[in-house]
Structure formats: structure tokens, C-alpha cells
Structure 1
Amino acid sequence: MNRKAIAGLMLAAALAMAALPGCGAGKEEAVKVRIGEVTRSVFYAPQYVALAEGFFKEEGLDVELQTTAGGDKTMTALLSGGVDVALVGPETSIYVYQQGADDPVLSFAQVTQTDGTFLVSRSGKPLDWNDLKGAKFLGQRKGGMPQMAGEFALKKHGIDPHADLDLIQNIDFANITAAYASGTGDYVQLFEPQASMIEQEGKGKVVASFGVESGKLPYTAFMSKQSYIEKNADTVQKFTDALQKAQTWVKEHSAEDIADAVGTYFPNTDKAILVSSIDRYKQQGSYAENPIIDEQEWNNLLDVMTSAGELKERAEHGKLVDNSFAEKAGK
């Protein structure tokens, strides 16, 4: 074989190698996206499914997840550039808007569509809402969505949270479960899996769901600064596409399957607790089936905030919600 033939074969081989997946300069690098989640909870199962099942990777995204405990801390991380996307209650974006932000925060993909907390009673007796009057109630942070939704539900049952309850609100979010387990309060408002863990320990019983009581609302959503969304529209679309895949996966799989998928994110939680927690959320329709934040749910959110005295003016749906990515993901 002459030199020209050998050179030709070598060139052909090099071109073939470059065409293979993972070879050559043509491969696109994954785009890094930093998420700050308000807390670690099975309430956000679709997010963990998107990570565990590789849906973000399929879209060419390298997602880094960090827990920034508390809505105020999560929003601070977003505004300061510590994270690109926040998973938090949209009420935080309304607070930023009310302060006259030049770069408003927009919700672009809904994850949960009900409140995620449950009323836990130390006595475990069947619930009579009037029994709460005069009781010590271990609540959530003032102005936060859990507290506002809880107050909204209590008012429906004729209870003034600030006049009828001995309301305790000076305990940090991360320490509420431990405080209740150690004996603080007759009632407490808890997310899962903490509510199921309290039941397992025999220190209380779930007697009502604030998610059922307060109705549909965009309780937790992915959001980012308007400037980030405008500069990274393709990334935001891929992110939302991955979430839609995860939401469909959650809808089509059992609580046990979901627990298996997300278990690595809850290494210290018994699988039976994970399954019961996820099942509670599935049964009451807490997991949104698509990322779209509809106007009726948004208006319910505004009603909840108004009832809590936390809304200076109604922030209209079109100003703080961008459904364009969610609508494309659905197609």
C-alpha cells in the first residue's frame, strides 16, 4: 500500500472517530445551572426525579442543587447571584416586586399546586377545629407561604390565628420539628416527611391537611431574575422541558417507585416514611402535572396573602409569571 493510500485511510479513520458520540470538538458541554431550594422535602419530588432519572442531563444541563433553608435566604441567594434558579414560594417574588425591583423575579415553572403542610395534634384526637382555641400552636415564619396558607385555612373554620391561638413563631424553620418533638406546642404545622416521622415516634398525629383546606395555588415554583431568563432563554426552556418529563413520570408512577427514585436525597429517612409521605401528596394532588401557573391559582395566592395582611397591592399574573416556557414544554 502506498503512502497516499495509507494517509487516506488515516484521514478517514480520524473523521469517523470525530463523528462518534463523545469524540472530537463537536460535542457541546453541559450548561451549568445552580438551583437553590427553600428546603429539602419530598414535597418537591418532581425536582429530585428530574435529577435522579437524568432528565436534566438529557437536556444538556449540569444541575447543581443546594438547600438554602428559608424563603428569605433563598431569595437573597437568587438576587445576589449565588444561584441561577430558585425553588421557592412565589410570594417571595411578590415581596421583591413590592419593593420596586428593577430586575423583577419571574416564576416560569410550577412544581407544587397546594400547600404542603399538615396539622399535627399531640393528643391525636379526631379534629374539632374549636379545640384549637386557646391551644399552643407552633406555627411557621410570619409572611411565609406555610403560615399564610395555614392562617387562611384556620379563618375558614372561624379561628383568628392571632386572637384565638397561643401562636409560637419565634422558632427557626429548620428547628420546628425538633421543638415539637421535645414538647413545645399542642399543635404544629409540618411538611412531610417530618409529619410522618412524628407519627412514627408516637408524638403526634396528622389530623388535617392545609393543602386540602386552602385549595389550589402556585405554592412552589422555579423562578429566576428577568435578566437571567432573557439572557438564557434556551437554558430555561431545556430546564422546563426536563421538569415536564419529571412531572409526567411522577404522575405515572406509584409512591413506592417515586420513593426508590428520590431515596438518595433522603439518606436518613426510612423508606416506609418516604412512601407514606409521597402518597399523601399524590392523593391530595399536590404535585403539579405540568409547569403552567394558571391565573386562577395565582389569584388564590393573592387572596391568601391579602387575608394575611402581607399584600400592599395585587401583583397581576402577567407581571410576575412567564408561562411561555411551560406552554412549549407541554407541546
Structure 2
Amino acid sequence: MNVIPIESLTYTPEIIAKASGHFAAEGLDVQFQVTRGSAQAIQTVIAGGAQITRVGDTEMMVATGERGAPVKAVAQPSQASTLRVLSSAERPVATPQDMRGKMIGIPSEGGTSETLVDTLATSAGLTDTDLSKQVVGLSPGVFDLVKQGRIDAYLVAMDASVVVKQQEPGAVVLDPAQFIAGGTQVYMTSQETLDDPTKRDVVQRYLRAIKAAMEQVIADEPLDETLELLGSEYDIPVLKQPEVAKETLRTYIASWQANEGALLETPADKWTAIYEEAVGVGQLPAGLDPSAWFTNELLPGASS
């Protein structure tokens, strides 16, 4: 269950697991379905319409910590934020402190991007009155709004930031992972799936295939074979620019390994830091136990 179309380098592990036969080797026939945002994806998993989905860390925490949803994170495929803040050299937003007095563009109201802006602002001691936010969508021409002075910066996916940086060499790119713990992605399943040995085994096999795919991509240093495999399964626009695709993919690979530990593993200390950031921006109440919301027990090599 995907919250955005799979035709993106974001889903490289999933696409490679399918194209290279890692899913098949685990006896899995995996179908990807796009849903309208994280809320619907989480609800579909709870209802049994899908066994696993990939969502933002804070969205998963809010679902279970605030709303009591019977779900749990079972892996962390992206261990650092893959969103970026783009601005111009004339009015740069190179650090969270630089957002003071600025107008920040976001794709939509109330989503992951807005939460990320709020978290970055809080990390710099800023409040809502210190900056402004404006919905600008996701069109390729948003950087024109920066050049026109209508906004000072905006949130964008890593793929798009690489393309814009190539077109606008003077653009300033802020990487949230340099300042905050949140913005990662998790694989999430239902408690009902975890309690059912047969369904639990399916999720474990899925994660084994994903890890094998990640290891395959990491080993392919030139990335030529990886790009060929990605293109054999889906029409991914950035593949038309191989060097841009490779630069983007190397940044994604770095996000898979950001915790400097095992692939897919969720470190307890970083998970707690993400929770504390969510508390700081009012997404969750203080005093909860975030360790109950994730497990590493289903990862390859773990005892379960």
C-alpha cells in the first residue's frame, strides 16, 4: 500500500525486490496499490485490505499514540528525511534559524511537509509567529515563485531537489536530517497481523526481500544495472536523465544507512527523539511510551 505512485526512486527497494526476483524467492506475489494519503493507507492495513504500508514516522506515531490505532512499525527503510528545503542565494534558508521572517511554501496543509517545517522551526526556537507558510503544490515551476519573491523557500522531494539544483546551480538546499531526527519512513503493519503466525511470517519474508534488494543496489556502485532494472518495471521520469537519477539514488542509499547500523533497523534512541520532536510541535502529548509502537523482531536475523 503506497501513499504516492510507485513510479519514483523512493520505492527503489520495492521495485528491485520485484524485478530481481527477491519477492519470488520468498514465495511472495506482491501487488502495489496507491492510496490517497497515509490516513487511508493506515486504515486499509487495520481493516486487513493490505498487510503492510510505508508511511512517515510521525504519521504512524500519531495514529497509534494519539488515536489508539492497533498498528506497529516493523522496519525503517528510510532512516533520514528525504525531503529538502529549497531557497535562493539571495534569501537563503540554509539552516532552520534562517526561516525567521520567511514565507515557506508547502505542498499541502496539515501533511508531512508542514509537520517537517514546524519541527525544523521548533528546533531553532521559532514559533508560528516567526514565519509564514503558504500552500504552493508540487508543480515543477515552484522555484519560479522563489525567484519572483512570492515565497522564500519551499519543501520538495529529494528527486525534485536534485533536478532543480541542476537547473538552478545557485539554489540553496537544506537537508532536514542535519538538524532533526524526524522525517523518516517506516513499514507498518497491524497488530492483528503480528499476532497471526502465518501473516507475521509473510511480513518477515517481505522484509527479507526488501533487505536483499537494498544490499543488491548498494553493491551496484555504478548503478547502471539498477537503473536498467528500475526502467524494466516502471516508467520513472528521472531515468531519462541517468546521471541525475544516479545522484538522486545515491542520496536515497545514504538515507537507508543513515543510522549507521543494520538496514531497516529502528534504533530506540532515535525513535524516542522523533517522538519528542512530535511532542514539541503539538502532534502528540508528552508522557507516552513510544517504544511500544515499534519492533525490530521481524527483521532478518532477529529472533521472533
TM-score by length of 1: 0.75
Residue matched to 2:80: 114
From 41, 61, 65, the equivalent of 1:74 is: 41
Q: How many residues align?
A: 290
Question: Is the Cα–Cα contact under 8 Å of residues 110 and 220 in structure 1 kept in the other structure?
Answer: yes
Instruction: Tell me, in whole angstroms, the C-alpha distance in 2 between the residues paired with 1:76 and 1:323.
Output: 22
* Cα pair distance change 1:281/1:330, threshold 3 Å: farther
The CA deviation string for residues 232-271 of structure 1, in whole angstroms up to 9 with x for no partner, is 1221111121122123223323263443433344532232
* Cα pair distance change 1:267/1:38, threshold 3 Å: closer
Residue matched to 2:294: 321
Question: Is the Cα–Cα contact under 8 Å of residues 77 and 256 in structure 2 kept in the other structure?
Answer: no
Deviation at residue 221 of structure 1 after TM alignment: 1.4
Residue matched to 2:248: 277
Instruction: Tell me, in whole angstroms, the C-alpha distance in 2 between the residues paired with 1:243 and 1:262.
Output: 14
Does 2:177 align with 1:176? no
Residue matched to 2:12: 45
Does 2:191 align with 1:226? yes
Deviation at residue 230 of structure 1 after TM alignment: 2.3
RMSD: 3.1
* Cα pair distance change 1:306/1:221, threshold 3 Å: same
Q: Which one scores higher on RCO, CA 8 angstroms, separation ≥ 6?
A: 2
* Cα pair distance change 1:68/1:209, threshold 3 Å: same
The CA deviation string for residues 291-313 of structure 1, in whole angstroms up to 9 with x for no partner, is 22121121011022012111124
Question: Is the Cα–Cα contact under 8 Å of residues 94 and 315 in structure 1 kept in the other structure?
Answer: no
The CA deviation string for residues 153-181 of structure 1, in whole angstroms up to 9 with x for no partner, is 33334443x2222211x45xxx3244625
* Cα pair distance change 1:61/1:150, threshold 3 Å: same
Instruction: Tell me, in whole angstroms, the C-alpha distance in 2 between the residues paired with 1:299 and 1:75.
Output: 21
Question: Is the Cα–Cα contact under 8 Å of residues 143 and 310 in structure 1 kept in the other structure?
Answer: no
The CA deviation string for residues 54-98 of structure 1, in whole angstroms up to 9 with x for no partner, is 211110001111222432232233234432211112323322224
Instruction: Tell me, in whole angstroms, the C-alpha distance in 1 between the residues paired with 2:10 and 2:300.
Output: 23
Q: Which amino acid aligns with 2:19?
A: A
Deviation at residue 276 of structure 1 after TM alignment: 1.7
Does 2:106 align with 1:135? no
The CA deviation string for residues 80-119 of structure 1, in whole angstroms up to 9 with x for no partner, is 4432211112323322224554x61111121011111111
Q: Which amino acid aligns with 1:153?
A: L
* Cα pair distance change 1:93/1:133, threshold 3 Å: closer
Instruction: Tell me, in whole angstroms, the C-alpha distance in 1 between the residues paired with 2:264 and 2:294.
Output: 11
Residue matched to 2:162: 196
TM-score by length of 2: 0.81
> SS of the counterpart of 2:285?
coil
Instruction: Tell me, in whole angstroms, the C-alpha distance in 2 between the residues paired with 1:255 and 1:154.
Output: 38
* Cα pair distance change 1:250/1:317, threshold 3 Å: farther
Question: Is the Cα–Cα contact under 8 Å of residues 82 and 183 in structure 2 kept in the other structure?
Answer: no
Instruction: Tell me, in whole angstroms, the C-alpha distance in 1 between the residues paired with 2:177 and 2:235.
Output: 23
Deviation at residue 126 of structure 1 after TM alignment: 5.8
* Cα pair distance change 1:64/1:284, threshold 3 Å: closer
Instruction: Tell me, in whole angstroms, the C-alpha distance in 1 between the residues paired with 2:187 and 2:254.
Output: 23
* Greater Cα radius of gyration, structure 1 or 2: 1
Instruction: Tell me, in whole angstroms, the C-alpha distance in 2 between the residues paired with 1:254 and 1:330.
Output: 31
From 141, 144, 154, the equivalent of 2:121 is: 154
The worse-fitting range, judged by mean Cα deviation, of 276-285 and 229-238 is 276-285
Instruction: Tell me, in whole angstroms, the C-alpha distance in 2 between the residues paired with 1:330 and 1:194.
Output: 39
Deviation at residue 206 of structure 1 after TM alignment: 4.1
Question: Is the Cα–Cα contact under 8 Å of residues 72 and 293 in structure 2 kept in the other structure?
Answer: yes
Does 2:132 align with 1:166? yes
* Cα pair distance change 1:187/1:39, threshold 3 Å: farther
Q: Which amino acid aligns with 1:36?
A: N
Q: Which amino acid aligns with 1:112?
A: S
Structure 2 unmatched ranges of 5 or more:
none
Q: Which amino acid aligns with 1:189?
A: L
Instruction: Tell me, in whole angstroms, the C-alpha distance in 1 between the residues paired with 2:287 and 2:115.
Output: 16
* Cα pair distance change 1:194/1:218, threshold 3 Å: closer
